[in-house]
Amino acid sequence: GADVTGVCSTRNVEMVRSIGAKQVIDYTREDFTKSGQSYDQRYDLILDCVGNHSLLEHRRALNPNGVCVVAGAKGLWDFLTRALTAPVLSRLVSQKFVTFIAKINKEDLTIMRELMANGKVIPVIDRRYSLSEVPEAIRYLENGHARGKVVITLEYHNKT
């Protein structure tokens, strides 16, 4: 198993611990990309789901042969910039930088279902909205304070 370090705000520290993070860094108090220099803490893998740090900042926190997977960005332009920069940077340094774009397929969904059924992946659901409440759900997400996934529920009425 991996030793997982989660990075989150103060209000989410306990939640991140509860889903299995061995160490939690409160980004309001400490920048994990700088901790590699002061605390000798470097990472084999960084999964960036938010995009608050540059690739060079991630590089500082990676082990010499570490990997940084960029799955989030501050917007489309930021993501495209990272997607174009990552392979170039990977050729110049010992670390590897890649971007991740999800592609849904049956095999991956089957694996994810099994991981969830076995408690290996624990979804954190912040709020549920009905289909008619989608505009409210979008406003909530745009506010930037969701503490997990926002789920849209659909009702199915069998008319037979």
Structure tokens at 94: 């010992």
| Average pLDDT value for residue range 26-50 | 82
pLDDT above 80: residue 32: yes
pLDDT above 60: residue 37: no
pLDDT above 90: residue 39: no
Convert 23-62 to b/e letters by CB count within 10 Å (16 or more is b). ebbbbeeebbbebbeeeeeebeebebeeeebebebbbbbb
pLDDT reported for residue 158 = 76
Could you give the count of Cα atoms lying within 13 Å of 145 in the half-sphere of its Cβ?
5
**Predicted confidence band of residue 72 (pLDDT cuts 50, 70, 90):** confident
d(CA 156, CA 6): 37
Q: Which of 17, 19, 8 is nearest to 120 (CA)?
A: 19
What's the predicted TM-score (pTM) here?
Answer: 0.79
pLDDT above 70: residue 127: yes
Structure tokens at 79: 């993501």
Structure tokens at 25: 């860094």
**Predicted confidence band of residue 40 (pLDDT cuts 50, 70, 90):** low
**Predicted confidence band of residue 106 (pLDDT cuts 50, 70, 90):** very high
Residues in the chain, total? 160
Q: Which domains are seen in the chain, by residue range?
A: 5-99 (3.40.50.720), 106-153 (no CATH)
| Average pLDDT value for residue range 7-18 | 93
| Average pLDDT value for residue range 37-53 | 82
**Predicted confidence band of residue 35 (pLDDT cuts 50, 70, 90):** low
| Average pLDDT value for residue range 13-42 | 84
Whole-Å CA distances, 42 to 27, 38, 103, 131 = 16, 10, 30, 43
Other C-beta atoms within 10 Å of 136: how many? Answer: 13
